[in-house]
């Protein structure tokens, strides 16, 4: 969902970089799970706000700058069960990571390693060993996503 970028002020607030379509959608969740190196801890969201360039939040038990600074770099997650179902033809990035990507010729291009947003469209980062391919997540390239089968069918060559 995002990560803690820095402490904000002296009363335990943190700056957050949201990895959601709308930054303020993080406010829909009363409990955030913060994690690093596989260790996760739940924090209640006490207050939150939007700044011109940041999301800021006050989490339970974090009452001073030192405690807020200790959270820097931690990943923010929420339980999948708390998230709304994806709309038809839309996918959570977490559901796409790890899927095999196969082209029209049946050739495997690798697996989705991660995604990123360019402003124009999302991009699949597909990794096959040491080979990394960047595929735009647009209808002319991504023809079918089959979550049940764990595959994405694309119109993309091995040599692109």
* Structure confidence by residue, pLDDT tens digits, 10-43: 999 999 998 887 888 899 999 999 999 989 999 9
* Structure confidence by residue, pLDDT tens digits, 108-125: 999 999 999 888 999 999
- Domains in the chain (CATH in brackets) are 2-80 (2.40.30.60), 93-154 (2.30.30.240)
**pTM of structure:** 0.69
What would the two tokens of residue 144 be? 């079918």
Task: Look at residue 80 and tell me whether its pLDDT is greater than 90.
Answer: no
């Amino acid at each position: 969902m995002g990560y803690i970028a820095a402490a904000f002020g002296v009363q335990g607030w943190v700056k957050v970089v949201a990895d959601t379509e709308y930054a303020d959608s993080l406010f829909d969740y009363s409990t955030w799970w913060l994690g690093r190196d596989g260790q996760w801890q739940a924090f209640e969201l006490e207050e939150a706000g939007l700044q011109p360039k940041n999301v800021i939040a006050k989490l339970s038990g974090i009452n001073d700058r030192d405690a807020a600074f200790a959270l820097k770099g931690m990943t923010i997650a929420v339980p999948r069960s708390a998230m709304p179902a994806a709309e038809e033809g839309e996918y959570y990035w977490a559901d796409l990571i790890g899927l095999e990507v196969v082209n029209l010729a049946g050739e495997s291009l690798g697996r989705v390693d991660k995604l990123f947003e360019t402003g124009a469209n999302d991009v699949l980062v597909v990794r096959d060993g040491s080979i990394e391919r960047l595929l735009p997540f647009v209808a002319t390239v991504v023809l079918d996503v089959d979550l049940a089968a764990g595959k994405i069918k694309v119109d993309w060559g091995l040599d692109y």
